[in-house]
Chains A and B, each alone.
Chain A
Amino acid sequence: MDAAMDRIRRVTLVWMITALVLFPAMTLLGYLIRRFQASPTPAAHPEWFYSLLTLHALGMVGTWFVSSMAGVSYLLSRYVRPSPAVSLGAFFGTLAGVVLVCLATVGGFFGAGWYFLFPLPLYPNGAWPAWATALFFGALALLGTSWLVWALDVLRAISQRYSLSAALCLHYLGASTEPEVPPIVLITTVSLIVCISGLVSAVIVLVLFAAHWAGWLNVDALLMKNLTFLFGHTLVNISLYLGLGIVYEVLPGYAGRPWKTNRIVAMAWSSILFLVLFAYFHHLYMDFAQPGWVQTLGQIASYFLSLPAAAVTIFGVLNLIYGASMRWTPASTLFVLGVLGWAIGGVAAVIDATVAVNFVFHNTLWVPAHFHTYFLAGLVFFVLGFIDHLGRELSPGEEPKGLSKFTVALLVVGAYGFVATFYWSGASSVPRRFAAYPDEVMRGAAHARTSLVFIHVFLLGMILYLWMAGRRCVRALFS
């Protein structure tokens, strides 16, 4: 193993250990949020609820974005050379950003939500000081810049071996299979182009916010909302796609069969590149100011994004494992379970992306229900699976088989039990992001109490997982 590869390996381990620390911490915040909602009495300190909610959401989105980026960068280094220095730079940028976000939320009670919908950050109504808003925006600018540079570097690495059309597998559309491009290269290229558009959108939002704050412009709320969701939706969406890139690359090794790019895979991912930029319109269905054709476009794009997902990725995974001599390890189990969770969450998402349904689901707990399904039981499983895979590769040794099975079972039961309480609440009209429930929807408190049980189960699974996989990672880092 050469020195460059060793650096890539080490920086990946640093990222993964960070994810393993941040994830339980952010889960604990989620626990506290549900504790608030479980209380039948009015919230005594709602400022804590809203600032922890903001930190939990941004923390989770950030954690899974960086860990899927780090995982993909590592796997890509089989084919191309992403710079470990840029990755490390992004790591320190992220770390500093996390510290600033913590200061703004826990220290300054900034509680406008992770996507800080204009103009709420400027109307704290006494809940947080102006410096907390400034700090939050500063943190976002730092995070956004670090991630933008990182994304550009990974694209640069790909560009050293593939042309843009080759990386997007456009030649496969014309039935040519030369040069052969692994799916992870295609997926990463598509995802990072989308990611850059999201980050550019965040930059525009921040600039317009600053201009409005300074009194130079009176900014249009509808434009800001569009840009905010272009940023928020794509960032979340491409984290999942990068996670799938990991699955495409690693799962075939466990199935003992190849999973290659072909015409249909190329078609699927190029259609995603196009469709994903229009899907975010489904966040604005209840803004009647948005023209009707935009809403229709949003529903069509959201619906048809499920076609490549189902016919290529989900079908592809099932086809890969069907009748294969699978090596079932925690990694391969978590990958397959993660694809299942992604699919189930996707179904809930498509249902909610129907304008007529969104009318009674928008901003109810159905929304966190669906995204927790494909995050908690999807992307989290992909990354935990990758960490297990990486740990075993770099630091061999076996745990008792029963213990790993038990751990995975705890994670699955915890995750699905937890999201079930959200679906239950969402279908019974309980609004999301309430620090405490008014009498009409007090049933939300009972659902929240049930969810606490499942958070305990999940956290127990997480502790066992940390003990197994975390130890390997630390051992590998200092070997």
Chain B
Amino acid sequence: MRTCVVLLILGLPMALPAPDSPPIEDQYLYQALPDVPLKLSDGSEARLSQLSSGKPLLVTFVFTRCAGICSPLLRSLKGAAAKAEGGFRILAISFDPRDTPADLSALAAHVGVAQKQGWNFAIAAPADMQRIAKVTGFWFQWDSTSRQYDHPGLVLVVDRGRILRMRAGGTVPAAFLQEALEETRGKLAKSYPLPGKVAFRCFQYDPATGELAFDWGAVLMLLPGGVAIVLAVVVFRRGRTRVRISMKNSLMWP
């Protein structure tokens, strides 16, 4: 559940994401992404709003020289996207000023995705990247010993320019993506349970299908009706040896 992330990191400062902690989804929900210009891997230019218009957009942040989570994250996203239904675009934005369109093409080829599958790789100007970072909680820091950027893995689900869902971490579960895409199509959960061990939930929200599934609590809800019917049947079966009672009409009629 989306709030697991929140509760697992209880006690951390809530205001701004400190380096070394991933951003918390609940803090950035419904934030509007700035409409920044992007340079795409094929050398063309596009604005972010063009990519997010008409279809949901999945956004993630990478740099091509990453020896850490960038490639595994992209592969995980690719796997989840292959299982998900419906039209959407994917945008991987590089935050490394050294990256060129050619670097990005190489990364796309390395991961095995192409633009016609809805994948876009792009470079944002450093100032624009800062504006994006501000509304998403994404951060990156140059670590001179490892000669790598330190950064969290992050996937945003953007609908009509606003952050609908967000997931931090090195992998993207297919269930998360499915649930988020269902939400963009209007299958919105009106409510969601908080994590915690609770006995007999009535309706368990199933993120894999986006549906509420029956749980043992629902069985308990059907029990009273069932017991009443069974008791009635038992009582009436016992009464089979019926005693004829003579009517006492004179008793009631005034």
Contact, chains A and B (beta carbon distance below 8 A): yes
A residues whose Cβ falls under 8 Å from a Cβ of B: 1, 5, 75, 77-81, 152, 155-156, 158-164, 167, 189, 192-194, 196-198, 200-201, 204, 208, 217-220, 222-223, 226-227, 230-231, 249-250, 253-254, 277, 287-292, 294, 389, 392-393
Q: Does B110 contact A (CB under 8 A)?
A: no
Asked if B202 and A222 make an inter-chain contact with CB atoms under 8 angstroms apart, the answer reads yes
Asked if B190 and A289 make an inter-chain contact with CB atoms under 8 angstroms apart, the answer reads yes
Among B197, B198, B228, residue most surrounded by chain A Cβ atoms (within 10 Å):
B228
Asked if A201 and B224 make an inter-chain contact with CB atoms under 8 angstroms apart, the answer reads yes
Q: How far is the CA of A292 from the CA of B190 in the complex (A)?
A: 8
A218 and B224 contact, Cβ closer than 8 Å, known pairs A78-B251, A164-B236, A389-B254: no
Asked if A79 and B245 make an inter-chain contact with CB atoms under 8 angstroms apart, the answer reads yes
A78: chain B residues within 8 A (beta carbon): 247-249, 251-252
B residues whose Cβ falls under 8 Å from a Cβ of A: 190-193, 196-203, 212, 217, 220-221, 223-225, 227-229, 231-233, 235-236, 238-240, 242-245, 247-249, 251-254
Q: How far is the CA of A219 from the CA of B239 in the complex (A)?
A: 39
Asked if B221 and A227 make an inter-chain contact with CB atoms under 8 angstroms apart, the answer reads yes
B217: chain A residues within 8 A (beta carbon): 220, 222-223, 226
CB distance from B123 to the nearest CB of A (A): 42
A81: chain B residues within 8 A (beta carbon): 243, 245
A393 and B254 contact, Cβ closer than 8 Å, known pairs A223-B221, A227-B221: yes
Asked if A220 and B200 make an inter-chain contact with CB atoms under 8 angstroms apart, the answer reads yes
Q: How far is the CA of A197 from the CA of B227 in the complex (A)?
A: 7
Among B196, B202, B242, B248, residue most surrounded by chain A Cβ atoms (within 10 Å):
B202
Given contacts A200-B224, A220-B202, 19 further A-B pairs with CB under 8 A are A5-B248, A78-B247, A80-B245, A152-B235, A155-B235, A156-B235, A159-B235, A159-B239, A159-B240, A161-B242, A163-B236, A193-B228, A196-B231, A200-B228, A218-B197, A226-B202, A226-B217, A226-B221, A389-B254
Of A196, A219, A250, the residue contacting B232 (CB under 8 A) is: A196
Which single residue of chain B is at the shortest CB-CB distance from A194?
Answer: B228
A226: chain B residues within 8 A (beta carbon): 202, 217, 221
Q: How far is the CA of A231 from the CA of B224 in the complex (A)?
A: 9
Among B229, B233, B235, B253, residue most surrounded by chain A Cβ atoms (within 10 Å):
B235
Asked if A196 and B227 make an inter-chain contact with CB atoms under 8 angstroms apart, the answer reads yes
> Can you spell out 5 A-B residue pairs with CB atoms less than 8 angstroms apart?
A5-B251, A156-B238, A289-B191, A290-B203, A389-B254
A-B pair number, CB within 8 angstroms: 129
B224: chain A residues within 8 A (beta carbon): 197-198, 200-201, 204, 227, 230-231
A167 and B228 contact, Cβ closer than 8 Å, known pairs A219-B200, A223-B201, A223-B220: no
CB distance from B237 to the nearest CB of A (A): 8
B190: chain A residues within 8 A (beta carbon): 288-289, 292
Is chain A's interface secondary structure helix, strand, loop, or mixed overall? helix
Which single residue of chain B is at the shortest CB-CB distance from A289?
Answer: B191
A194: chain B residues within 8 A (beta carbon): 228
Which single residue of chain A is at the shortest CB-CB distance from B243?
Answer: A160
B202: chain A residues within 8 A (beta carbon): 220, 222-223, 226
Of B191, B193, B242, the residue contacting A160 (CB under 8 A) is: B242
CB distance from B245 to the nearest CB of A (A): 6
Asked if A193 and B242 make an inter-chain contact with CB atoms under 8 angstroms apart, the answer reads no
B244: chain A residues within 8 A (beta carbon): 161
Of B193, B198, B236, B249, the residue contacting A218 (CB under 8 A) is: B198
B249: chain A residues within 8 A (beta carbon): 78
CB distance from B79 to the nearest CB of A (A): 30
B228: chain A residues within 8 A (beta carbon): 193-194, 196-197, 200
B198: chain A residues within 8 A (beta carbon): 218-220
Asked if B232 and A193 make an inter-chain contact with CB atoms under 8 angstroms apart, the answer reads yes
Of B193, B227, B232, the residue contacting A289 (CB under 8 A) is: B193
A250: chain B residues within 8 A (beta carbon): 252
A160: chain B residues within 8 A (beta carbon): 239, 242-243, 245
CB distance from B236 to the nearest CB of A (A): 4
Q: How far is the CA of A208 from the CA of B227 in the complex (A)?
A: 17
CB distance from A479 to the nearest CB of B (A): 16
B236: chain A residues within 8 A (beta carbon): 155, 159, 163-164, 167
Asked if A219 and B251 make an inter-chain contact with CB atoms under 8 angstroms apart, the answer reads no
Of A163, A230, A249, the residue contacting B221 (CB under 8 A) is: A230
- Report, nearest first, the 9 A-B pairs whose CB atoms are least far apart: A159-B239, A197-B228, A288-B190, A289-B191, A164-B236, A223-B217, A201-B224, A196-B228, A288-B191
Q: How far is the CA of A167 from the CA of B239 in the complex (A)?
A: 12
Q: How far is the CA of A389 from the CA of B212 in the complex (A)?
A: 53
A223 and B200 contact, Cβ closer than 8 Å, known pairs A159-B235, A161-B243, A197-B227: yes
Which single residue of chain A is at the shortest CB-CB distance from B214?
Answer: A291
Q: How far is the CA of A13 from the CA of B145 in the complex (A)?
A: 94
B235: chain A residues within 8 A (beta carbon): 152, 155-156, 159
A227: chain B residues within 8 A (beta carbon): 220-221, 224
Which single residue of chain A is at the shortest CB-CB distance from B251?
Answer: A78
